[in-house]
Amino acid sequence: MRYLGIVFLALISFQISAQELFVVTEPASNVPAGSIGVRVGQSLLKKEIGSGSLFNLSPEVTWGVNKNLMLRASAFLNNSSNTLKEEGAGVYAKYRFFSLDDLQSHFRLAAFGRYSWTNSPMQQEAIDLSGGNSGYEVGVVATQLIKKVALSTSLSYNGVTDDKEDYEFPELQSNAAFNYTFSIGKLMYPKRYTSFKQTNINTMLEFVGQTLTEGGKSYLDVVPSVQFIINSQARIDLAYKKELYSSMLRTASDGFYLKLEYTFFNVAN
């Protein structure tokens, strides 16, 4: 009887959180405690300067230290030099400091930070800590889930450091920015849970923006996506990013995303 109760609670928890695993933004919720997640993110974006496309590859490992803290390590590769090579790496941490739970809803607040470094010189005005710039980011994120719908928003501050020892950041360009996001996700299938092995299908709409602290230049992107969660462990994300507005130079904007992830539970307690 006790075992059945544990299974029921776990199923309810998974049903509640499934639709807040966003594709290009992070919710306030963490990965399960003691879990290790392995993810490979890929994107194919149209170049804003010249012709062709920019392919990005980002392998990641995420560790759920406990229910409130998660850590992530990432590597960044792309074909900007006409061959796929490593451009840099980064580390990320998120700490959930507030939770308000109900049976089919919850509210979360979390603080997060990252540090990234890169081997490539800066090529755009937009600040990108996923291989485009060396620097740091600190921010907060809030997520509200009500039944099958999740809403999430974040605000963060980016600071850029020199990318190389022999490279100084241009004096006339902003070396800091504010990032802001808003995401909505909905569980579309199944309509009713009967097993852990059921495939979840989530649809999402995410907005990602940035404003430079000097000069006020900004951009705003929209990212519609569909997500499949298989056997409660494997995850497939398909998304398309479209630039809605931009007043700054960017190397690439519009394009497709594909993310593949697998989570190993109770391996790092």
End-to-end CA distance of the chain: 25
Query: Which of the given ranges, 100-104, 128-132, 168-172, 204-208, has the highest pLDDT on average?
Result: 204-208
Residue 144: closest CA among 10, 226, 29, 18 = 29
Per-residue pLDDT of 229-245, as tens digits, reads: 999 899 999 999 999 99
**What is the percent of the chain with per-residue pLDDT over 90, rounded to a whole number?**
67
pLDDT at residue 3 greater than cutoff 50 = no
- For 66, other C-beta atoms within 10 Å of its C-beta total 12
- Cis amide bond preceding 190, omega within 30: yes
Task: Convert the pLDDT of each residue in 192-227 to its tens digit.
Answer: 878 878 999 999 999 999 999 998 999 999 999 999
Name the least confident of 16-20, 65-69, 84-88, 214-218. 16-20
Of 146, 121, 117, 148, the C-alpha closest to 134 is 117
pLDDT band, very low/low/confident/very high, at 82 (cuts 50, 70, 90): confident
Question: 27-51 burial by CB neighbour count: b if 16+ within 10 A, else e?
Answer: bbbbbbbbbbbebebebebebeeee
List, as own/partner pairs, every contact residues 118-122 make where C-beta atoms lie below 8 angstroms and the sequence separation is at least 24, other chains included.
118/76, 118/87, 118/88, 118/163, 119/86, 119/87, 119/88, 119/163, 119/164, 120/80, 120/87, 120/88, 120/163, 121/163, 121/164, 121/167, 122/160, 122/163, 122/169, 122/170, 122/173
64 contact partners, CB below 8 Å, separation of at least 6: 30, 31, 32, 33, 34, 35, 36, 37, 70, 268
pLDDT tens string 179-200: 999 999 999 999 887 887 899 9
Q: Quick one: tokens of 151?
A: 């809403």
* Structural domains for the chain: 2-264 (2.40.160.40)
